Structure 1
Amino acid sequence: MKKLSPQWLKFLKSLGIEFWLPLPLLALSFWFVGGWLTQKTLSSYNNDAVKLQASQPEYQYGIASIKVEIYPKKGISIVKIKKLSRTYTESKMFLKTTDIPFVEAAIGAELGMSRKKVRKMMRYRRQGTVNSEQ
């Protein structure tokens, strides 16, 4: 083996080899530690996001909106239900009641949903009064 002459040593020092030689080792150590921390962090979470998405009524039942028009003088309510599919489909229900809890219960029974889920999706409008509610 050849010994490095003083000229080669001066040339290597001029390149800054003392600085550049440990950089690949530092990069590899950051890469391994970063990968380990990422794996540790991501594996500690459970799949709560999947549970939350499945519990949303819009996705589970395919309902876009429920609009209720209440006619207190006539004693009826007209319910318009927009369902999500490849296209919007709208269906109507005519109810012989203007009492909101009974309207919610009837819609929930028709759609197979609880009153609480129906209540979150409903929009009301009273017909025949000066102040319209929405």
Structure 2
Amino acid sequence: MTSRNLSPGWLKFIKSVGIEFWLPLPLLGLSFWFVGGWLTEQTLSRPSKNLTQLKTTQPDYGKKIALIKVEIYPQQGISLVTVKKAENKISTRYTKSQIILNTTHIPSVEAKISNELGISRERLRNKLRYRWEQ
């Protein structure tokens, strides 16, 4: 028995292709890996030139607002809104202001508060606390 008779067919194919084919494959793979990583780093670290600055027409009070408490009085048909704002971003001092609304319907209360404070309804809902009075 010779080793030639024991070798499978795919091993014979590898031997027939030769070392000239198999030797550069790992070098080619490593070069693609390094060049691809370098191109990715260059592309992602460069700032995009087509982004435009967004201009806001109203000041953003959403970051200064700590809490919005809404007390709903259905018997009288009014809602009392208490807004608690921080004096600055890292302050522990707060100022309170109150707004009286002539509605008890929650979507219209949210719309009026949103218009009054100039913040979106999504940001407003994160800070709202409701209380129903009898």
For normalisation by structure 2, the TM-score amounts to 0.50
CA distance in 2, matches of 1:114, 1:61: 12
Report the equivalent of 1:80: 82
> Percent of aligned pairs with the same residue?
50
Q: Does 1:107 align with 2:107?
A: no
Residue aligning to 1:49 = none
Q: How far off is 1:117 after superposition?
A: 1.1
1:95 lines up with 2:101 in the alignment = yes
Distance (whole Å) between structure 2 residues aligned to residue 60 and residue 73 of structure 1: 31
Taking only aligned residues, the RMSD between alpha carbons, in angstroms, comes to 2.4
State the secondary structure of the residue aligned to 2:122.
Answer: helix
Structure 2: give runs of 5+ residues left out of the alignment. Answer: 1-40, 46-59
Task: Tell me the matched-pair count.
Answer: 76
SS of 2:109 mapped into structure 1: helix
Q: Return the structure number with greater helix share.
A: 1
Calculate the TM-score normalised by the size of structure 1. 0.50
Superposed structure 1 runs of 4+ greater than 3 Å apart: 58-61
After superposition, the Cα gap between the structure-2 partners of 1:74 and 1:121, relative to the gap in structure 1 and judged at 3 Å, is same
Deviations 1:8-56 (A, max 9, x none): xxxxxxxxxxxxxxxxxxxxxxxxxxxxxxxxxxx9x98xxxxxxxxxx
Name structure 1 gaps, 5 residues minimum: 1-42, 47-57, 129-134
For the structure 1 residues 125 and 60, does the alpha-carbon distance in structure 2 shift closer, same or farther, using more than 3 Å as the test? closer
